[in-house]
Amino acid sequence: MASIINDKFAHLRIPLEDVVKATNNFHHDNIIIGHGGPGTAYRGRLYLRSERLMEITARRFDWKHGEGHLEFLRESTVLLDLEHTNLVSVIGFCDEKDEKIIVTMYEANGNLGQCLTTPNLTWTQRLRVCVGVARALSYLHDVEGRRGYSIMHCNINSDVILLDENSEAKLYGFEYSIKQAGDNKDEVISLCDQHIGTMGCMDPAIEKTGGVTQKSDIYSFGVILFEVLCGRRAFIDDHENEANRFLVSLVKYHYENKSLHDILNVDLYDQMSSQSVLKYSSLAYACLYGNQACRPDIDDIVNELEKAMQLQLR
């Protein structure tokens, strides 16, 4: 079967036998728990073209469960054409014998979602992660430069924010991403029947308009900011406490009633600068505005988060 990947990426093709060997034949002991997105992620060790042994993650899309062609094509064609310090680093891909596999650098500290409810990351480290993700989104939303198009991620959530050995953010999870030609940031791209997003993180305006804009990513990122601030997931399947299920409704209530401190992460509270939290929370709240046009642009978000970091480090 012919490859579905453009020939310009042929030099990044990795033979299936090499991936099989690297992952010990996709052994269950090599599965990476909590690695978001479709397919199964395996940890492995692969000799690259430089003959250097590297720790890798091989994400294997399962066509038997409807996870094959389209998701692999979207993710691979986006990632193979991008390079940014806060995006996951792609080593190559395998498109052979019905196998669809993307090989990336292994990120040693899991994902942000796994750290939300633990004290493993300090408040300053979490701020740095948020700045990193914002910079990655700025790179994606920017139409300038050699690409000539912008990219809407369409599935921003804490599980697709990986953390490297230094706890720096590495964004991935582009299986629902959409390329947007030109510089019309407010253009609504119709979704038709395409499923996107994660429970609790998806922009409610999508249901009204039937499409996405760059401001849909901004909404999802605002949810992430509050997840980090409050130390909990965007959605908790808590049938006994209906009001506690969705983080957005909870933070809006407390923010508007000036009681946000009641739901801040208790493990981090003593580490937080009040001025930093004030700037951070007002920015996060603005990302959740119902009117998409009123939400901040990503470059403004980067600037405000950097200011929040400066206030924290004083």
- Give the helix ranges, DSSP H, for the chain: 16-22, 69-79, 112-115, 123-141, 205-209, 214-230, 247-256, 274-287, 298-313
State residue 76's pLDDT score. 85
Largest Cα separation within the chain, whole Å, is 60
State residue 62's pLDDT score. 77
Cα–Cα distance for residue pair 114/197, rounded to 1 Å: 19
Residue found by looking up tokens 């959740």 in the block: 288
Superfamily of segment(s) 112-313: Transferase(Phosphotransferase) domain 1 (1.10.510.10)
Residues in the chain: 314
- DSSP H or E segment with residue 151: strand 149-152
State residue 172's pLDDT score. 92
pLDDT averages per 10-residue partition of the chain, 314 residues: 64 93 95 77 87 90 68 85 93 90 94 92 97 97 77 94 96 90 73 72 89 95 98 83 86 96 93 96 98 96 98 95
- pTM for this structure? 0.92
Q: What share of the chain is helix, strand, coil (3-state, %, to 5)?
A: 40, 20, 40
Span 12-105: which CATH code? Answer: 3.30.200.20
Smallest CA-to-CA distance from 56 within 73, 74, 70, 44 is with 44
CB count, 10 Å around CB of 241?
A: 8
State residue 80's pLDDT score. 87
Q: What are the structural domain ranges in the chain?
A: 12-105, 112-313
State residue 34's pLDDT score. 66
State residue 179's pLDDT score. 87
**Same CATH fold, 112-313 and 12-105?**
no
Angle formed by the axes of helices 247-256 and 214-230, nearest 10°: 80
Smallest CA-to-CA distance from 116 within 46, 203, 201 is with 201
State residue 1's pLDDT score. 44
In terms of Cβ atoms closer than 10 Å to its own Cβ (0-12, 13-18, 19+), residue 76 is: buried
State residue 145's pLDDT score. 60
Tokens describing residue 97 = 């014998």
Cα–Cα distance for residue pair 233/214, rounded to 1 Å: 23
In terms of Cβ atoms closer than 10 Å to its own Cβ (0-12, 13-18, 19+), residue 13 is: middle
Cα–Cα distance for residue pair 106/163, rounded to 1 Å: 10
Q: At 234, phi and psi to the nearest 5?
A: -65, -30
Cα–Cα distance for residue pair 254/265, rounded to 1 Å: 14
